[in-house]
């Protein structure tokens, strides 16, 4: 007998009806219609049962779609033989040569661009400082207003 799983592919709420359909080879839409009708007829007794089934029945295991391709073409998966170089064809021991040469090493930033970067960082940090000061001033004003309202409330006015 097959294990019952919640469907990953054909699910609307929890995958229960899709899993039942896959397990018993029945259209899941038909199971959903019957479930809805029986739920109304029995006075919603199936709702907690469905929710319980969502927690009890495990999800369908994931299937790696590339396993069948890799097995058919002689790949065992993973990084291959750890004793061979990474770029190896596995049969002759010859290393794989990429079709293009590696790019030449370049400095990512010139000194001029780094100077511009420090100016931009200084400008943005000064703007951040100004915004922080404005926020503090606004918060202080709000705190003063709240203190005044609290004093008025305590006086009973």
- Phi, psi dihedrals of residue 33, rounded to the nearest 5°: -65, -45
Name 77's Cβ contacts closer than 8 Å, sequence gap at least 6.
67, 70
Structural domain boundaries of the chain? 1-77, 116-157
Q: Is 112 helix (H, G, I), strand (E, B) or coil?
A: helix
DSSP per-residue string spanning 41-73: HTTSTHHHHHHHHHHHSPBPPP--TTHHHHHHT
Residue 121's pLDDT is 65
Question: pLDDT (tens digit, 9 = 90+) per residue, 64-106?
Answer: 655 555 555 555 545 555 454 444 445 555 555 666 666 666 5
Token code pair at residue 131: 């915004």
What distance in Å separates the CA atoms of residue 24 and residue 53, rounded to the nearest whole number? 17
Distance CA 44, CA 37 (A): 10
Q: Is the pTM of this model over 0.75?
A: no
Alpha helices in the chain (DSSP H): 16-24, 28-41, 46-56, 67-72, 111-155
Interior angle at CA 18, CA 55 and CA 51, nearest 5: 25
Q: Give residue 34's pLDDT band: very low, low, confident or very high (50, 70, 90).
A: very high
Alpha-carbon Rg for the chain, nearest whole angstrom, is 33
Q: Tokens 């019957």 sit at which residue?
A: 34
């Amino acid at each position: 007998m097959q294990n019952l799983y919640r469907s990953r592919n054909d699910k609307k709420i929890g995958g229960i009806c899709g899993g039942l359909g896959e397990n018993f080879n029945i259209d899941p839409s038909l199971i959903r219609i019957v479930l809805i009708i029986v739920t109304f007829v029995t006075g919603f007794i199936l709702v907690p049962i469905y929710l319980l089934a969502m927690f009890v029945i495990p999800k369908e295991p994931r299937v790696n779609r590339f396993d069948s391709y890799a097995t058919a073409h002689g790949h065992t998966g993973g990084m291959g033989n750890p004793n061979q170089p990474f770029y190896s064809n596995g049969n002759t021991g010859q290393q794989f040569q990429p079709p293009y040469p590696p790019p030449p090493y370049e400095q990512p930033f010139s000194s001029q661009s780094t100077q511009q970067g420090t100016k931009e960082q200084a400008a943005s940090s000064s703007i951040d400082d100004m915004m922080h000061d404005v926020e503090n001033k606004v918060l202080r004003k709000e705190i003063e207003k709240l203190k005044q309202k609290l004093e008025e409330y305590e006086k009973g006015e």
